[in-house]
Amino acid sequence: MAASIVLASLAWLAGAWALGHPWLAVAGFLFVLLGYTLVLGTEFVLLAFLHRDDPTPRAGPWQLIRAWFCECIVAARVFGWRQPFRSRALPDVPGRPGVRGIVFVHGYLCNRGLWNPWLKRCMAVQQPCIAVSLEPVFSELDAYVQTVDRAVTQLERETGSAPLLVCHSMGGLVARAWLSSVAGADARVHHVVTIGTPHQGTWLARLSRTANARHMRPSGDWLRQLAHREPASRAAKFTCFYGHADNIVIPPAAAILPGAASRHLSHTAHMAMAFHPDVISEVSRWLDADGALS
């Protein structure tokens, strides 16, 4: 997708310039290349409009503008470079006996390239980890359960300990689906940290017809059935990061799993939340001392 956008913008630039319209060429080039910033801006407008009586503190205009600007940069890096061109650039870190591992689970329209900054940090301290890619991209969420199970099984075998799950966005729902689908899964995970996960759905999912997006619709059948299968005690295994400037989980409090610990991230948008220092600190807190990220 990123390559297609670049090629389309260059084609417009060359074509309009050849026809003798240099200003139109440059304007069209910038619009095609940077059009995603307008999409992100629309999401922030919807966030402000649909906040309504959500218990999350309302973000002010400047907080939203700051979050939008930072998200434009982060999204360009993630969707324009890491995911299309660098998703296999960094390997998983093999497990070591006695050092608890991490399973990284990405969200909607993403792959393991999202986690490259985390993988660099893990490689630097030899922190065992596996970053999965959930494929096919638009499958039902239950189809990803075995991918998570294989990663957990591998780290269990290599480290001798139940791993920590770190999940961004839709990945947190996949983790919940795994816990509810695999016998004994609760004992096989140390803790689950979710970052901007639509535990109670998101308004934006109404705009997509893909199978996994339909599962993220508020009050949808899939979410209701998942909650029905979960024991009340399971929420204690979760820490949920949410934020009033999350442009994807709308309203923001939908990122909180009832009964779980919750942490608020101020003026931080959806993709940027995955790399927030508070998230890194929380993950380190749940790792054993020998495996803590620093």
Give the separation between CA 210 and CA 45, rounded to whole angstroms.
24
Q: How far does CA 21 lie from the centroid of its chain?
A: 41
Rounded to the nearest 10 degrees, the angle between the axes of helix 145-159 and helix 170-181 is 80
DSSP secondary structure letters along the chain: -HHHHHHHHHHHHHHHHHTT-HHHHHHHHHHHHHHHHHHHHHHHHHHHHH-TT-SSPPPPHHHHHHHHHHHHHHHHHIIIIIHHH-TTSSPPBPPBTTB--EEEE--TT--GGGGHHHHHHHHHHT--EEE---SSTTS-GGGGHHHHHHHHHHHHHHHSSPPEEEEETHHHHHHHHHHHHSTTGGGG-SEEEEES--TT--GGGGG--SHHHHTTSTT-HHHHHHHHHS-GGGGGGEEEEE-TT-SSSSSGGGGPPTTSEEEE-TT--HHHHTT-HHHHHHHHHHS-GGG---
pLDDT of residue 292: 61
pLDDT of 294: 60
Residue 137 contacts residue 107 (beta carbons within 8 Å)? no
**Tens-level pLDDT at each residue, the chain (294 residues):** 445 444 444 444 455 446 664 544 444 434 444 667 888 989 999 999 999 889 999 999 999 999 999 998 998 889 878 998 899 999 999 999 999 999 999 999 999 999 999 999 999 999 999 999 999 999 999 999 999 999 999 999 999 999 999 999 999 999 999 999 999 999 999 999 999 999 999 999 999 999 999 999 999 999 999 999 999 999 999 999 999 999 999 999 999 999 999 999 999 999 999 999 999 999 999 997 555 676
pLDDT given at position 79: 85
Q: What is the pTM of this model?
A: 0.90
Tell me phi and psi for residue 240, to 5 degrees: -115, 120
Q: How many CA atoms are closer than 13 Å to the CA of 225, on its beta-carbon side?
A: 10
